[in-house]
Amino acid sequence: MAARGPGDLSQDGDLAGFAARFRDWLTEESAVVAPLLAEHSDYDLRVDNARALRRLLCEHGWGLAGWPEEAGGLGGSILHRSVVTEELFRAGWSGPTVFEHLEIIAPTLVRFAETEFVRSVVPSFLDGSRSWSQGFSEPEAGSDLASLRTRAVRDGDDFVVNGGKIWTTWSKWAHWCLALVRTGTAEERHRGLTMIAIDLSSPGVEVHPIRQANGTDELAQVHFTDVRVPAAQLVGEVGGGWNVALYLLARERGTLSWLRHCAFRHWLTAGTEVMAEDSDRQLGAVVLQLAGVRAAAARLLSRAADGAELGPEAAFNKLLMTRTEQSLFDLLREVDGVRVALPADSPAEVLQQQEYLFSRIVTIYGGSQQMQLTTVARHVLGLRDG
């Protein structure tokens, strides 16, 4: 029997049928899919597999489900994309590597970039042939993005960019960087910022990978020296970069939590194979936290599918997500410390070590935990200083 495609995506109400069709397809194509879901300790190989998986999913329509037609998609909503994510994890996937940014950057491009630019770059993001990094933090502007110094100056039909970004995730493998730059004065703070898409193959761009404690080159420092960027690659308006950044960060803190909670379930399932009976209380606490993340993520997904703004509640999701991630890997360390503490040979053990070490810093990326707490206090709970 020929493998079935996504079918009618015009209504979100048939998500169960959509999920069933995708599971059938995974089974029918298991000989091709299974090697792409396999765990590998070599990050370059994992990136290659992620690209190949994106290509395969798009060839059969599944990777295009939930994306608008102007972006090269088949229609539907983020709910269809979330079903694909969950079913892949259920099939043994350990995650999208460089394409974790797909749910953060691609929606931002669709929302704010010129339609012609969206049509020229988003399809290659969906099919895995091109990937993106996110250029926000700088050596002297981390959580305080309004103080960033990378500058873009208009010169005819181009902007000329000078400066640098740091902690730009996956820039080693990226083809594009969505960068927040200063087009106004330093005194204007966030009002003088603009979002722009930079081709990392442009003259004047240097990418220097940063080796992390977990042994991967996931982060990088990127330098821009007289880099010419066509004005058509603006994402939003000149001086409107802060609003674009807030939209993007709401997805990094909010809807991304669905993908992350699927990954947490993957690691928890693997960890239960070696848990002793006296781990029940710790395990129960983590399961409850996972349920909380799932419920909160599902709520934001529904809002996003309805076209609503995610707002400050995304900060609450980020707090739940990071607490759960650290609780999970603390549990795995307690029940089988060898897997997270000592050199390992098997890909599964190496990956768990990498994930454990990464979990130590999750309260920093996407805005520090203190910033998220302040956002929730002021904008969700309505509390004020004093």
The CA distance from 7 to 61, in Å, is 9
In this structure, the answer to whether residues 137 and 89 fall within a common structural domain is no
In this structure, the answer to whether residues 236 and 268 fall within a common structural domain is no
Q: Which of 84, 100, 111 minimizes the C-alpha distance to 321?
A: 100
* Residue 182 counted as domain residue: yes
Classify each residue of 157-173 as buried b or exposed e, where b means 16 or more C-beta atoms within 10 Å of its C-beta. Answer: ebbbbbbbbbbbbbbbb
CATH number, domain containing residue 181: 2.40.110.10
Rg over alpha carbons for the chain, rounded to the nearest Å, is 21
Q: What pLDDT does residue 352 have?
A: 81
* Residue 246 counted as domain residue: no
In this structure, the answer to whether residues 258 and 349 fall within a common structural domain is yes
The CA distance from 354 to 219, in Å, is 14
In this structure, the answer to whether residues 235 and 266 fall within a common structural domain is no
CATH number, domain containing residue 319: 1.20.140.10
List CB contacts of 322: < 8 A, sequence separation 6 or more: 362, 363, 369
Q: What pLDDT does residue 370 have?
A: 74
In this structure, the answer to whether residues 268 and 196 fall within a common structural domain is no
* Residue 385 counted as domain residue: no
* Residue 137 counted as domain residue: yes
Q: What pLDDT does residue 201 have?
A: 98
Of the residues 195, 212, 240, the one at which a domain ends: 240
In this structure, the answer to whether residues 191 and 275 fall within a common structural domain is no
The CA distance from 131 to 101, in Å, is 8
Of the residues 42, 67, 95, the one at which a domain ends: 95
Rounded to two decimals, the pTM is 0.91
The CA distance from 85 to 71, in Å, is 19
Q: What pLDDT does residue 1 have?
A: 39
Q: What pLDDT does residue 147 have?
A: 81
Q: CB count, 10 Å around CB of 199?
A: 16
* Residue 7 counted as domain residue: no
* Residue 6 counted as domain residue: no
Q: What pLDDT does residue 153 have?
A: 97
Convert the pLDDT of each residue in 291-322 to its tens digit: 999 999 999 999 999 988 887 888 888 888 89
Look at strands 176-182 and 132-135 and give their pairing.
parallel
Q: Which of 330, 305, 265 minimizes the C-alpha distance to 11?
A: 305
In this structure, the answer to whether residues 328 and 225 fall within a common structural domain is no
Which DSSP string do the residues of 96-126 spell out, in sequence order?
-GGGGGHHHHHHHHHHHB-HHHHHHHHHHHH
| Residue 143 CA to its chain's centroid (Å) | 18
Q: What pLDDT does residue 143 have?
A: 66
In this structure, the answer to whether residues 234 and 266 fall within a common structural domain is no
By the 8 A CB rule, do 271 and 336 touch? Answer: yes
pLDDT by residue for the chain (386 residues), tens digit each? Answer: 345 788 878 766 789 999 999 999 999 999 999 999 998 888 899 999 999 999 999 999 999 999 999 999 999 999 999 999 999 999 999 899 999 999 999 999 999 999 999 999 999 999 999 999 999 999 877 667 778 999 999 999 999 999 999 999 999 999 999 999 999 988 888 899 999 999 999 999 999 999 988 888 989 999 999 999 999 999 999 999 999 999 998 888 888 899 999 999 998 888 777 666 656 777 889 999 999 999 999 999 999 999 888 878 888 888 888 999 999 988 888 877 666 666 667 787 788 888 888 888 777 776 667 776 777 677 677 777 65
Residue 283, H or E segment: helix 280-305
DSSP three-state, residue 3: coil
Q: Which domain holds residue 361?
A: 254-380
Q: What pLDDT does residue 2 have?
A: 44
Q: What pLDDT does residue 373 have?
A: 73
Instruction: Tokens for 74, please give them.
Output: 């088949």
The residues assigned a catalytic role are 252
What's the first-to-final CA gap in the chain, in angstroms?
68
Output the CA–CA distances (angstroms, integers) from residue 51 to 97, 288, 309, in the order listed. Answer: 9, 34, 30
At 223, the amino acid letter reads: H
In this structure, the answer to whether residues 342 and 364 fall within a common structural domain is yes
Q: What pLDDT does residue 12 have?
A: 64
By the 8 A CB rule, do 122 and 110 touch? Answer: yes
In this structure, the answer to whether residues 137 and 228 fall within a common structural domain is yes
In this structure, the answer to whether residues 310 and 340 fall within a common structural domain is yes
- Angle between helices 78-90 and 15-28 in degrees, nearest 10: 40
Total domains present in the chain: 3
Q: What pLDDT does residue 213 have?
A: 82
Classify each residue of 100-126 as buried b or exposed e, where b means 16 or more C-beta atoms within 10 Å of its C-beta. Answer: bbbbbbbbbbbebbeeebbeebbbbbb
In this structure, the answer to whether residues 298 and 228 fall within a common structural domain is no
Residue whose entry in the numeric block shows the structure tokens 């209380």: 281
* Residue 124 counted as domain residue: no
Q: What pLDDT does residue 277 have?
A: 60
The CA distance from 255 to 296, in Å, is 9
Of the residues 209, 240, 271, the one at which a domain ends: 240
Residue whose entry in the numeric block shows the structure tokens 């909160």: 296
